[in-house]
Structure formats: C-alpha cells, structure tokens
Structure 1
Amino acid sequence: MAKKLVPAAMAIAGMLFFTAPTVTFAAETPTQDMQERVEAALADRPGGVQTSWNEVNWDDGRVVLTLDPTSSRAGSSVVLATDVVALAAVGGCASGTFCAYNQTGYRGDKITFSTCASSHSVSGLVGSVRSIANSRSSGVVRAYNGTTLLASATAGNGSNVSGTTNKLTCS
C-alpha cells in the first residue's frame, strides 16, 4: 500500500509546484502621480530638495518627507504590518527622530524630524496628521491645533491623533 501512495504524493506535489501562483513585486519607479505629489510638497514648503522618487528633504536632511506610494492625501490605503521598517524604534520612525503620519497606526505619508525645535509646522506636508511617533530616547512630542493639545507621545512611544494638527512641538 505504501508503494501506491508515493506516486500519488509525487503527482500532487508536482501539480502544486507547477500551478503555484507567481508573485510579482512592483518596481519602485516614479509615476506621474508621485512626481505631482513631490512637486506639490515643494510648492507648499519652498526650499526643499527632492532626494528620491518619493522623498523631499529640507534643512540639510533634518526634515524629511517620505510619500507612501500606496497612500493618497485622503488616507485610504492599507499598509501591511510587514511593510514597517524593522530597525525603527516606533512604527517605522527611525531611532533618534520623531515622525508624523497622515494615517492612524503609523501608516501613509510620513514626515520625519531629526532635530527638536520649539515648533514644527506640518501644515500642507502630510495632509491631516493622524498619528505621531517619538523614537527619541527622551522628551515628549505634542500635536497641536493652534494652542489646543490633540495628542502627545513620550520617548519610545506613539499616539493616534484626532482633529486637525497644524504643528508639532518637542521637548
């Protein structure tokens, strides 16, 4: 009986091998839509430099806008948890920095700050901020609408934000 099972198992394995779905990954190339988004960011905040097909830097790289290719200003994309950079301290935000995202749960377009100034304007860069991450070893990041505190994140933590954020502060 065992001799009859071996050919059947080999036939099933062969069918699985030859009929397995092919997975293809989209190449990271600029699209007209992405270039328009980059140009809009540069128009919103002059003085930036496009450093890659989906990234703009200001202040010699101390402020970096990374546009999510699966995202839109409306924030309708779904990003799998496996898309988050593993080396980041909090939700895709590199250690030593703090970030603002246009979607909850550290997803979508992201602006990264590597220096702590008294106030950072986020108006026009990522649309509406829906989450913040503080990947620094100390201090607090706060999201405001004018003088109204919407959310805060202590070192090594993050927070979802409700309301319209126009500035971030850090201490």
Structure 2
Amino acid sequence: MWLKLDIDGIELNLRISGYKPIADWKSEYSWCQVDLQLKSSWLDYKINGELLDMGEVVLLQNRMSDLLSDKTTDITAFEGLEPDIQFQFFPRRDIRNDPKVLYVAPGHQFFDISADMIITFWNEGLTNNRLILNLGCDEIEYFRDYLLYVEKTTDFDKAKLDKLIAKGVFFKETRQA
C-alpha cells in the first residue's frame, strides 16, 4: 500500500514494506524497505532503500500521534539512523504570548500544528541538498494513519482503510505511482 499526498503542488508517494511487530524483530536494527517518490513540474526524485528502522516507524508514528493530540508542547525533531528523511514537529501555539506579535485579531490567536519533512537528496551518495515539505494537520494525520496501517495496529480498521483509499490518500501496489 502506498501513501499519496499533494503538498502544495508536490506529489509525495511513499511505501514502507517489510515491517514486523516488535516480537519478530531479529536484531537491534531491523530495517524496512522505503520507496519515496517526489513529483512536480520541476521535480522528479525517487529513492528506494532501507531508510527507516522498524523502531523508527513506531517512534515516528508516536511523535505524529502526540502532535495531533496536542501532547507535544515544544518543537521536536525526528532524525533516524539514516539521514535521508527527517522531521521537525511544530505544536499548536498561542501567538498572543509571542513578544514579536503586536496585534492578534479575534479568532486568530492560534497557529495550528505543522511538520517539516526534510528529504536529503541522494546522488551516488548523500548530498548537501535538501527539500523541505511543510505538512499541515491533514497531511500529518494521513501520514500517521499510514504508519498505523504499516504497523498493523488495532487503531486501524478496514473502514478507515476503505475511506482513505476512496479519498486517493492510500493506493494499492498494482497502481503505478
């Protein structure tokens, strides 16, 4: 199953395979196969490899769940063992307490949660070039739901899967990404 997000005109397709429940992990580092594709009118990037450890899948899902449920109060980062994919998470914040803000219109006192997905490009080796995709609340929720699907947790049922497939957020292996 693939995750498909349109992030301000950049199509992100992601597939994580090879995940096993914790009891089945063979060693301290048990890797998942990750396929990542980024497409737009000016970008066509693909990478495939062992980019996330199984424990990192769980950690990333937990960080996103905490952010979505307002348990995260500070800016936090996710940096895996492999540097290809990183995240920075920004919690909901009340801008009335920001000394740099002089006036807040009624009803606009909060910045919603967001996350930066930082992709470091690979070209016969890791480069110093990065792309930062800013995920809003909906994209974070879809990404978290995809990680729950990958983990095969009880928090993810067939009705939710069918809904996300109908929306085009998840698509099956047989479709060309």
State whether TM-score is above 0.5.
no
Q: TM-score, normalised by structure 1?
A: 0.25
Give 1 or 2: higher helix fraction. Answer: 2
Give 1 or 2: higher strand fraction. Answer: 2
Higher relative contact order (CA 8 A, sep 6+): 2
Q: TM-score, normalised by structure 2?
A: 0.25
Which of the pair has more CA radius of gyration? 1
